[in-house]
Structure 1
Amino acid sequence: MLRKTYATLLFVLATSVAAQTPTPEEIAALVDQRVSALNPYGELLNDPDPERSLAAMQIMLESGNAELTRMALEFGLLSPNPVVRRAAVEAHLKSGPTLTLKFEGGDDPDPNFTSTVVGYYSGSTEPGNQGYWKIKVGEYSADDGCYLHVNARSGCFVTVNSDGVYFTHDQYKMLAARTDVTDEGLLKGFAKIYKVAEPVPLTVQLID
């Protein structure tokens, strides 16, 4: 009796698992469905008319749809057109993201590197003398032409212009950095950080 009950239970469990596991054909159909749903947006982004392409990217970035926003941001940051790259960066900054600034202390870091990142930035460090500072971007100030710190009393945090993307923290000269958008969609450059004598390499990742 127990053996029969056990066999019945195994059969029920196996049937339940089989019912919940999609077949390869079902997965393929779902993939086709998702790709076909996104293809029209890809076509809009790749419009041969650069103005229409730029407009499509900006509208998608402002859509509030996470998937469309990511698609448009990736398209813009990886574009060979500097105008499109800049527009993508600015649209991303307008969303008020929390950025992670990665500082590289090098093989022979400044004695103050760790204390600055951890003590003054409330950041963290990892082996290899890498420091990380997470900080949220504030609102855009038309008067100052920049994106403010969350604490507006600290003034400009990010400034975007034709020469690059600048990060500043004027209070106690905590930070002064210039970066460019790379072909990989990263912001890379050098930063002068508080109490560290020489500028250090800086990377900011905009695409997860």
Structure 2
Amino acid sequence: MRASVLAAMALLFGAVAAHAQVTLDELDKQMTERDRELSEFAARLNDPDLEKSLAAMKLLIEKGDADQRRLAIRYGLYSPDMAVRATVLRAIFNSDPTLVVEMRPVAEETGVYFQREIKALGGSFRPDGTVSVVFKLAGYDEAQACWYWVMPNNQKRCLIRLSADTVSLFIGDSWGQYTLNPEGALVGNQTVKDDLTEARVSLAE
């Protein structure tokens, strides 16, 4: 009885394994079709009509899959056009991303209030002296004109405001101003509890 059950199970697993197999031809075909599809999306992003291009970029970032989102974000972040950069930033923030803010304090030693604030935000201190804090955006507050995150006590708190292609972040007790660099990251100076830091937020995927 036991032997027959084991044999049946072996046959079942063998059938599942055989069914789950993907041939090289199938893989090549799917990859080719995906490359062709992404090329067509790239063509939409490069449409000479700026309004169509921006609409395509916004849609792909906010509703596309991982590949489509990555394609559109890179297109927008590396664009020299201010309207494109502003649109890509707004679309990224509207997609409720998780942002990692990396800060390097200017002073060799930071104050106790800075350290307390970073810990209260759930941040981490690294051996090289930098700190990082993770924020999960949770929506846009029309009244305060900002994208917010939800604190551990379930209170909403403004994190980001956008003016043209300049981004302002509120961390601790101060607003810091950031601009996009050529690598697709937001860079700026951020003061937290009187300690000045050089900050960076990577947006490219």
Q: TM-score range by the shorter chain?
A: 0.7 to 0.9
Could you tell me how far apart the structure 2 residues matched to 1:205 and 1:74 are? 12
Could you tell me how far apart the structure 1 residues matched to 2:68 and 2:99 are? 20
Could you tell me how far apart the structure 2 residues matched to 1:118 and 1:147 are? 20
Could you tell me how far apart the structure 1 residues matched to 2:139 and 2:131 are? 26
1:26-175 matches, within 5 Å, as 29-106=29-106, 108-112=108-112, 115-116=115-116, 118-151=118-151, 153=155, 155-162=157-164, 164-169=166-171, 174-175=173-174
Is the contact between residue 114 and residue 125 of structure 1 (CA under 8 Å) also seen in structure 2?
no
Q: Please identify, of 100-109 and 53-62, the stretch whose mean Cα deviation from structure 2 is larger.
A: 100-109
CA 1:22–1:113 in structure 2 vs 1: closer, same or farther (change >3 Å)?
farther
Is the contact between residue 189 and residue 197 of structure 2 (CA under 8 Å) also seen in structure 1?
yes
Pairwise CA distance, 1:131: 0.3
Secondary structure of residue in 1 paired with 2:187: strand
Secondary structure of residue in 2 paired with 1:80: coil
Q: Which residue does the alignment assign to 2:186?
A: 187
Could you tell me how far apart the structure 1 residues matched to 2:120 and 2:194 are? 10
| Structure 2 residue identity aligned to 1:53 | S
Is the contact between residue 45 and residue 56 of structure 1 (CA under 8 Å) also seen in structure 2?
yes
Could you tell me how far apart the structure 2 residues matched to 1:192 and 1:206 are? 21
Could you tell me how far apart the structure 2 residues matched to 1:150 and 1:139 are? 9
CA 1:167–1:148 in structure 2 vs 1: closer, same or farther (change >3 Å)?
same
Could you tell me how far apart the structure 1 residues matched to 2:155 and 2:181 are? 31
| Structure 1 residue identity aligned to 2:179 | D
For 1:203, which of 189, 200, 204 is the aligned residue?
200
Could you tell me how far apart the structure 2 residues matched to 1:190 and 1:116 are? 19
TM-score by length of 2: 0.77
Could you tell me how far apart the structure 2 residues matched to 1:174 and 1:131 are? 17
> Structure 2: which 5+ runs fail to align?
1-16
Could you tell me how far apart the structure 2 residues matched to 1:39 and 1:163 are? 27
Aligned length: 186
Secondary structure of residue in 2 paired with 1:47: coil
RMSD across aligned positions (CA): 2.8
Pairwise CA distance, 1:192: 0.6
Pairwise CA distance, 1:160: 0.4
Give the number of the structure with larger relative contact order, counting CA–CA contacts within 8 Å between residues 6 or more apart: 2
Q: Which residue does the alignment assign to 1:5?
A: none
Pairwise CA distance, 1:165: 0.4
> Structure 1: which 5+ runs fail to align?
1-15
